[in-house]
Amino acid sequence: MKKLFAIIGSVLFVCLASATNSDASVGSDKSSIKQVTYGSYCCDSYGTRRCVLEQSRPVNTGCICFGIPGSGLVCL
C-alpha cells in the first residue's frame, strides 16, 4: 500500500512540475510582444508624404489620401 501511495505521489509531482514549466514558457512569450508605432502621414511607394491622416494609424498599414488619386502606406 505504501508503494502505491509513493507511485501516485511521484506521478502527481511530475504532473505539477510540468504544469509550472508550461506556465513559465507562456510568461516568456508575453515579454516578446512588440510595441506598435503609429504614424500620421500617408506615403507613396518611394516614402514621399502625400497627405496628413485624420487619425494616427499603425506604421506600414494601408491608407488612402482623399482628393489625391492612389493609395499608400502609413509612415512617420
pLDDT at 23: 46
Mean pLDDT of 56-71: 90
Report residue 57: phi and psi, to 5°: -135, 160
CB 63 within 8 A of CB 40: no
pLDDT at 52: 93
pLDDT tens for residues 7-59?
Answer: 555 555 555 555 555 444 555 556 778 899 999 999 998 999 999 999 999 99
pLDDT at 70: 80
Read off the pLDDT band of 68 (50, 70, 90): confident
Where exactly are the structural domains of the chain? 38-75
Question: Which phi-psi region, left, alpha or beta, contains residue 47 (left: φ > 0; alpha: ψ -120 to 50)?
Answer: left
